[in-house]
Structure 1
Amino acid sequence: MAQRGGRGRGRGNAPAIRGRGGGPIIGGASRPAAGLPESHVTTIGCRRPGFGSSGTAAQVFTNCYATSIPDSTIYHYDTAITPSEQTLPAKLCMDLIRHLQEVDHPDIFNPKAVYDGRKNMFSCTKFNIPETGQTFDVTLAEPRTQPPREGARGPKIYKIKVVKVAEINAEVLNRFIAGKQSHDNTVLTAITALNVVVRMEPTIHYPFNVRSFFTDKETKDIGSGLVLWRGYFQSVRPTIGKMLINIDISTGTMYKPGPLINLCLDFFNRPPSDAPALAPSRGFDNEKRLRLQRFISGMRVVTTLANPSQNRRPTPRVVKRISEVGATNLTFNLDGVGTISVAQYFQTTHNRPLSYPQLPCVEVGNGALIPLEMCRVPPGQIMRKQVPPERTKDVLEFATKKPHDRLASIKNGLGVLAYGQSEYVRQFGMHVQDTGNPLLINARVLQPPVLRYHQSSKQATITPRDGAWNMIDKKFFKAATIERWVFVIYEREQRFNMRAVQDMVQGLMDACAACGIQVQERDPIIQWKNPQGVVHKQLVEAGQDSSRKNGNKMPRIIVVVLPEGANDIYTAVKHFGDVKIGVATQCMKSMKCNRAKQQYFANICLKINVKLGGINTIPDPRSTGIQALTDPHNPTIVMGADVIHPAAHSDGRPSFTALVGNVDSETAKYIADCRVQASRQEMIDDLQSMAEGILTKYMGYRESVEKKPNKAPKRIIFYRDGVSEGQFKQVLELELPQLQAACKKLGINPKITLIVVGKRHHVRFFPKMANEGDRSGNCRAGTVVDSDIVHPTEFDFYLQSHAGLLGTSRPAHYNILHDENNFTPDNLQALSFALCHVYARSTRSVSIPAPVYYADIVCSRAKNHYDPEQRLDFSEMTTADEEHARQQLKVFKDAFKPLHHNMKTLMYFS
């Protein structure tokens, strides 16, 4: 059998990182074989070793369409636009290049080039310009019908320098998709060129955002000054033997067009007739002004002052801030007049008395102050900030479509995209399959793993069906014991009285008994607390009362019942339990507890059991896909890592990192570590020390709890979440060495497999026939694709591991970057599928392996590591200068509290 080659690349032209084992391919095909890269081809991640064969063969549709590759040379030009004190908006750059090609110099740019809105221009012909480049003067001013007034500034002139930087033979793409060409800069540039070609036509006619554009054919007004537009995403992707265009629907959040006053009122959920509510003298205080300012800053407005007789389009202006006082009290010095208010200025100079002189003004980019009532918001303007939390549900409802409806929308999108009518697509000789039906590809449906519960259960094992199972007649694989507990109620006693609480406690105890959790304290202390009080002190008091009742022994868990909308109390409770005191906490909502069905309490038990050290279920070792994963002679640790970043425009807010790993031999009991680092930095700074901590606890658990003779792991399977394809090399160069250094420091030498799990992509699968899907119309849980649409040379696959509930399910995309264990595709696909079934919170398989899911949760809970009394604001949108942002970041880093030592060995994050 052929031996596996390199497992990835190091820096520059360094030799490939090779597996330490160097063993044969198990179950893989010998090379050369159809669809596998040739031996001389280098890759960033692992070379594809072969294709999977397990499971039931199937065919599914995917939202991709085949396209031909140009058969001519592609000319790459670099463009530089000045003056550009700051990055110019892509729309402005597109308009300038369009004007250059269509109005100023159609003789040179014929046929027209395509442009990406930044620096790259691609042409199917060589332009007649000097080799050193040529600079052109371009202005977007409309021709005047009247001479300019004396002293008026002339139109702004932009200088655009165009210089040829490369000639690309498109044949490299044919070689690349055939597995005969490495993924080098030439291939990357050629793919970029094709993406720009297919996006050029729609970006001219529609609002766009990187790879999506939006139309007003389907919209939804969601309030808060926002309107949703349906959009279309498109991306050219190389696959085995062919080039595809991935097409999907997307959602654009637009500022509501029309009078700016109406938008501002809508932001505060006020009717258009209530304009005086925006006056500082009528309660429009500084807090409201700053909220509104954060929302509309950066938005473009046009004034209603333009003279129609001039036949000129009004110039959009960018909003910078909102004045603190109304137009009648806002004054400035006017030459020849002296001090004058804004309201007086518009009345005397423009003969425009204000209807609402008490309302504030907006300051635009050039420093001018314009009353709110004289501004209009042009349509189709994308809001590039975080959607207000209260509108998230509306966005999800608009974006969510059942598989059949989503596929129909994608087919309809072909008519909007109109590839056959695009002069740019035709010029480059591209022919897109537009028969209406998307690509039909080969797939397989994997067998779900057998799940094991405690042997005393009436049903000790179960095989999930369509990604789901139930807990009837089953006891947890390892059930915890509740020796002592206490209940703290933050709902008003009138709404949640003693009878309701007693029913809740009894229901929870019954559920515990059904799943095997022993409850020793049958009459726990129950206390109502004031939600306006200091949560930390209240929980301490409840814990002390419980301790006095139970012989000076603190409770194992504090159950907290919350009213609706009590996010601040929830955060304080978690900070108290996870960081301050180190005691497990379980929050429940009063509305769900009141007359709750037994299923609700059973779901709560899933969380309580693992928080107290129990294990809910484990996959049968024979179902994991990797032979003898639980082999005592080859102990294995599975890790998941993730990074979460602050919202856009939140300068000075930190990013949070998390590492999760199992400590037990059954890869079902996990522990976690969480850190804080520089804002929007994707690579994990403290991975080495985090890994040292997880590995140390893993070995300690095996030695002291499981009494294993060999405590050190022989294999590490490391799942990394949230990394884009462009950052794969950084993971190999910056994170993998940290993981290896942690092992070296601990004196262990496990073989490492590193897998990136991606969720932020637009590939979807649709059943070929309606009866081949699950009840939601989605493909069945376990659908795996590792051919047809995967990378031409690298080891990757798509796995849809969960059953659909709402909308169209998204498969996870797995990229194997480093593999010293020489796993086969069947191995890793079955293992990943099995790990999607051990997520402790539910009796359903989830979309990504449990350790990755846990890492995502740990990152999201990082705000609980801050003392609530400090009142640090994570959501505030700020545009700070670099020094202020650095100071703010230091405040967040210094205030971050580590996890309490009691929680470091428990699944506190469940």
Structure 2
Amino acid sequence: MSGRGGRGGRGRGRGGGGGSSRGTGSPAISVAPSEAGVEVGLPTQGSHVATVGVKRTGYGSGGRAVTVLTNHFRCQIPEGIIYHYDAISPSEQTLPAKLNMDLIRMLQEVVAPHIFTPKAVYDGRKNMFSTYRYEFENDTQTFDVTLVDPRVPDSPPRENKRGPRVYKVKLTKVAEINPEVLSRFLEGKQSQDNAVLTAITALNVVVRMEPTLKYPFNVRSFFTDQETKDIGMGMVLWRGYFQSVRPSPGRMLVNIDISTGTMYKPGPLIPLCLEYLGVRNVQALAPPQGLDQRERVRLQRFISGARVLVNNPGQAPNQRRRPPRVIKKISDRGASTLTFNLHDGGQSTVAQYFQRTYNRALQYPTVFCVEVGNGAMIPAELCVVPPGQIMRKQVPPEKTSDVLAFSTKHPNDRLNSIKAGLGVLAYGQSEYVRQFGLHVDGAAGPLSVNARVLNPPSLMYGRGSKQPVITPREGAWNMADKKFYNPAAIDSWVVVIYERQARFNQQVADDMVKNLLTACRAVGIAVREQDPVIRWESAQGRITEQMRNAGHACRAKNNKFPDLIVVVLPEGATNLYVAIKHFGDIQAGVATQCLKALKCGRGNAQYFANVCLKINVKRGGVNTIPEARAVSILTDAHNPTIVMGADVIHPAAHSEGRPSFTALVANVDANSAKYIADCRVQASRQEMIEDLEAMTKSMLEQYMGYRRMVEKQKLLPPKRILFYRDGVSEGQFRQVLDIELPRIKRACESLNIDPKITIIVVGKRHHVRFFPKTSNEGDKRSGNCFAGTVVDRDITHPIEQDFYLQSHAGLLGTSRPAHYNVLYDENNFQADGLQQLSFALCHVYARSTRSVSIPAPVYYADIVCSRAKHHYDPDAQMDFTETETATGSDALAQLKRFQSNFKPLHATTKKVMYFS
């Protein structure tokens, strides 16, 4: 394995080693800002310039050249020195970013305005940047800051005659940033080191300072109430704006997009809670009888973390309230029965305390109290939710469609909203932007960039097809008169129906079977049993036992167990679905296909055609393959290639004691159309795949076994591994190379093989969008750019090889391109080759006759991760919904329980695309 490992190994582009072997290409010239249509060369890259990923050695040229608009705007960087300060308070880990922002604002405006002129910018955590070096002794100084503003009359009253809380804020200068390093980086003459990263961070803090002081914010987005939508259940959607300063060849750009924030509905807390629970009677909030334990935990999960203002009964209308308090939990008793210890040693109920203190009885004494940050219990009726408060929880599933409808915008409408957002962002009016010398050129409008539309790959179908080779148009094709490339066979099967027989009777069931058989014949699936056993079962019964009984009924009829179990489900049967998949994939190793009663009972031919796409691959068939010429990298007989997709999924924010799940998917066939998968469980929120070595070894063994045993090829180990990695952020690229790459290499060494490895990160969580320049230059149906639009210049990395590929034809809203970063490349692929290959792999997703947004193996890995809960016995009571229910040792014990109860796939299931 010599010559592959280490930091100077081939493919890494680390000055001297990594990029030099990839061809010299045309002579490099220094890049400069350009308009689309003006050809520019590569940045001048010195041999001393180190990179994390592969150095760019050329641009792609394949496809039809076009120009598109993108949601980027030119940005002129500062010229003066920027001073970097650490901002530290004793409670920095527990204080919310908004409170930190308020403290720094008070520090600069009230406590020491004579020092902080001009004002510094702050990120809400540790980083403060200034254009001025403050005259602190030894470059450090500590300030006492309170949230009481003496300039405002009727400031919050003092409790127990104590003064307001004093926060210690310590500032220490840690660095001086010369923007020249950033200019050199953009020109390809400087490595992306800590100085460059800090300079980019500083510019982002500068553009975000003004809006974060004025509006509710969430990391890189802020939200205004100019466009809102009440979606019920106590939630209101606000339109927001995302902004990020990004480097590109020769210049900095600002990426601006619209976003959506989910807010708590403002107003009294009690109506908010009633609306969330879907009830009207206030007594439904009176624990334990009116509000049982299950609903109380559900409500607590919704409102915990929310800030509330407290309306004390004796408070004058014009008297300023105390700062908002954060809800930690809600009580299991009402205010009239919830007791606490008094300072003098006695006891009192919460209701008695408020009667005695404010001489006013509570209107709803049986309703719960909320425990706030300092441990105090406040009656719910005294709490008011202020407007513009972000709900940092997952939106309930029943409201997902409302959020989607609000956030989905036609491309032209989205671009207009982004342009309008420039007025809200008001860069030219921000004192912070002006004093740093940062200039955002909004007047020039969205950036016009060079793009190309790649030619789609030709796809091959099976014998008997009227048109065995087809070329997709605008990201789609149809299955009319086509047979699957390799159709599966079904000897015996059974139907289990969980819808009530009154709603899904024998005639409907018979018609459904007939329609499914017709669809199977149309695509070449040979179903030998034409009259399967049909059983009606109760969803309240024991699912595993019902599935086994169905299997035995099939055996009694056919003298063999079923190849396929078709299950008809009523609406909202998620738990039932999980139990069925656990039985099929984990316990029995039999293919299961779930159908919705409402859809399959109507006999829609298109619906059953789509069902056949799934059934065929679950039974080991292949739907379609790309024509060899379209994927020459994969079909090169001298270089057998295995394509892998990997992903990790993490528990929801604030969930403790929940594991992360990992998935690895790989092809086993020569055509890169038949995939297998492995799923594992690991420590919570650990991004690097812990079992990657064992998972990779298993994939390689199955690949070689399939090629030898099924395709009857001479045992040739794979010469190339293409590893598409999903879900890692730019800050984790180095970890992929330092942790996951060695695990892949060790798996190869254990099998005594030496394939060349290429690692590509596929990113979906970004805000880059493309728009046709005119209505005639895009998809007429959706207004999006055409499927196959690729951009690898103008807005990409200044030095490293990356590209954006919009591989699908979006139907609703504005399509999001995938972002591909080439981290490691021992195969020395040219830009055109990787771009065309990635596009082709977006066409072999078995579940549709449309190209998808990311390569099929990555898409499959994402699905496998999200289905990890199928690996748990439904009777084991593994709860995936609870949040904030375990901490410390309890969370650790809960995590170990998840790990020990995780079941592996059945040996039969491992060999097919069960996840389709």
1:814 to 806, 809, 820: 820
- Partners of 1:719 and 1:554 lie apart in 2 by 38
- Partners of 1:816 and 1:665 lie apart in 2 by 24
1:841 to 843, 847, 852: 847
Match of 1:755 in 2: 760
C-alpha deviations, 1:69-116, integer Å up to 9, x for none? 10111111111123x174211111111111111112111111101111
Q: Flag the 1:355–1:550 CA change in 2: closer, same or farther, 3 A.
A: same
Q: Is the CA contact 2:19–2:57 (under 8 Å) kept in the aligned structure 1?
A: no
AA at the equivalent of 1:227: V
Q: Flag the 1:512–1:822 CA change in 2: closer, same or farther, 3 A.
A: same
Match of 1:395 in 2: 403
Aligned length: 897
Q: Flag the 1:10–1:384 CA change in 2: closer, same or farther, 3 A.
A: farther
2:248 to 239, 248, 254: 239
TM-superposed deviation, 1:729: 0.2
Alignment of 1:733 with 2:741, yes or no, is no
Alignment of 1:575 with 2:582, yes or no, is yes
2:274 to 241, 265, 280: 265
Q: Is the CA contact 1:564–1:589 (under 8 Å) kept in the aligned structure 2?
A: yes
TM-superposed deviation, 1:691: 0.5
- Partners of 2:634 and 2:539 lie apart in 1 by 48
Alignment of 1:850 with 2:856, yes or no, is yes
Match of 2:626 in 1: 619
Match of 2:37 in 1: none
- Partners of 2:222 and 2:633 lie apart in 1 by 49
Q: Flag the 1:796–1:580 CA change in 2: closer, same or farther, 3 A.
A: same
Q: Is the CA contact 2:585–2:909 (under 8 Å) kept in the aligned structure 1?
A: yes
AA at the equivalent of 1:834: A
AA at the equivalent of 2:493: W
Match of 1:382 in 2: 390
C-alpha deviations, 1:537-588, integer Å up to 9, x for none? 111111111112212x211111111111111111111000000010111110
SS in 1 for 2:645: strand
Match of 1:902 in 2: 908
TM-superposed deviation, 1:351: 1.6
AA at the equivalent of 1:897: K
Q: Flag the 1:77–1:336 CA change in 2: closer, same or farther, 3 A.
A: closer
- Partners of 2:767 and 2:731 lie apart in 1 by 17
SS in 2 for 1:792: coil
- Partners of 1:664 and 1:540 lie apart in 2 by 33
2:348 to 340, 348, 363: 340
1:29 to 23, 26, 31: 26
TM-superposed deviation, 1:348: 2.2
Identity, % of aligned pairs? Answer: 66
AA at the equivalent of 1:184: D
Alignment of 1:669 with 2:677, yes or no, is no
Once the two structures are superposed, the pairs formed by residues 687-726 of structure 1 within 5 Å of their partners are 687-726=692-731
Q: Is the CA contact 2:625–2:673 (under 8 Å) kept in the aligned structure 1?
A: yes
AA at the equivalent of 2:412: H
Match of 1:880 in 2: 886
Q: Is the CA contact 1:489–1:526 (under 8 Å) kept in the aligned structure 2?
A: yes
Match of 1:350 in 2: 358
Q: Which region of structure 1 is more displaced relative to structure 2, 275-284 or 652-661? A: 275-284
1:116 to 123, 131, 134: 123
Q: Which region of structure 1 is more displaced relative to structure 2, 474-483 or 143-152? A: 143-152
C-alpha deviations, 1:511-552, integer Å up to 9, x for none? 11111111111111111111211111111111111112212x
2:226 to 217, 222, 239: 217
Q: Is the CA contact 1:35–1:178 (under 8 Å) kept in the aligned structure 2?
A: no
Match of 2:57 in 1: 49
Alignment of 1:861 with 2:861, yes or no, is no
C-alpha deviations, 1:481-537, integer Å up to 9, x for none? 111111111111111111111111111111111111111111111111112111111
Alignment of 1:780 with 2:810, yes or no, is no
TM-superposed deviation, 1:10: 7.6
Q: Flag the 1:344–1:667 CA change in 2: closer, same or farther, 3 A.
A: same
SS in 2 for 1:213: strand
Alignment of 1:503 with 2:505, yes or no, is no
Q: Is the CA contact 1:223–1:269 (under 8 Å) kept in the aligned structure 2?
A: no
- Partners of 1:201 and 1:503 lie apart in 2 by 63
Match of 1:205 in 2: 214
- Partners of 1:281 and 1:664 lie apart in 2 by 60
TM-superposed deviation, 1:16: 4.2
Alignment of 1:286 with 2:293, yes or no, is yes
- Partners of 1:268 and 1:561 lie apart in 2 by 30
Q: Is the CA contact 1:687–1:739 (under 8 Å) kept in the aligned structure 2?
A: yes
Alignment of 1:469 with 2:459, yes or no, is no
Match of 2:566 in 1: 559
**TM-score, normalised via structure 1 length:** 0.96
AA at the equivalent of 1:518: A
Q: Flag the 1:356–1:329 CA change in 2: closer, same or farther, 3 A.
A: same
Alignment of 1:482 with 2:490, yes or no, is yes
SS in 1 for 2:617: helix
- Ranges in structure 1 where 5+ consecutive residues have no aligned partner: none
Match of 1:130 in 2: 137
Alignment of 1:451 with 2:459, yes or no, is yes
TM-superposed deviation, 1:809: 0.4
TM-superposed deviation, 1:21: 12
C-alpha deviations, 1:819-874, integer Å up to 9, x for none? 01100010000000000000000000000000000000100111000000112111
Q: Flag the 1:296–1:24 CA change in 2: closer, same or farther, 3 A.
A: closer
Q: Is the CA contact 2:148–2:156 (under 8 Å) kept in the aligned structure 1?
A: no
Match of 1:601 in 2: 608
SS in 1 for 2:814: coil
SS in 2 for 1:227: strand
Match of 2:94 in 1: 87
Alignment of 1:193 with 2:202, yes or no, is yes
Q: Flag the 1:372–1:668 CA change in 2: closer, same or farther, 3 A.
A: same
SS in 1 for 2:584: helix
C-alpha deviations, 1:335-363, integer Å up to 9, x for none? 56933322122122202211111111112
TM-superposed deviation, 1:15: 9.7
- Partners of 1:462 and 1:428 lie apart in 2 by 57
Q: Is the CA contact 2:648–2:663 (under 8 Å) kept in the aligned structure 1?
A: yes
AA at the equivalent of 2:122: Y
**TM-score, normalised via structure 2 length:** 0.95
1:76 to 73, 81, 84: 84
Poorly superposed stretches of 4+, deviation over 6 Å: 5-8, 17-22, 144-150
Q: Is the CA contact 2:497–2:569 (under 8 Å) kept in the aligned structure 1?
A: yes
Q: Flag the 1:146–1:487 CA change in 2: closer, same or farther, 3 A.
A: closer
- Ranges in structure 2 where 5+ consecutive residues have no aligned partner: 31-40
Q: Is the CA contact 2:484–2:624 (under 8 Å) kept in the aligned structure 1?
A: yes
TM-superposed deviation, 1:42: 1.0
- Partners of 1:358 and 1:656 lie apart in 2 by 43
1:870 to 872, 876, 900: 876
TM-superposed deviation, 1:632: 2.1
Q: Flag the 1:150–1:752 CA change in 2: closer, same or farther, 3 A.
A: closer
- Partners of 1:474 and 1:847 lie apart in 2 by 24
Alignment of 1:764 with 2:769, yes or no, is yes
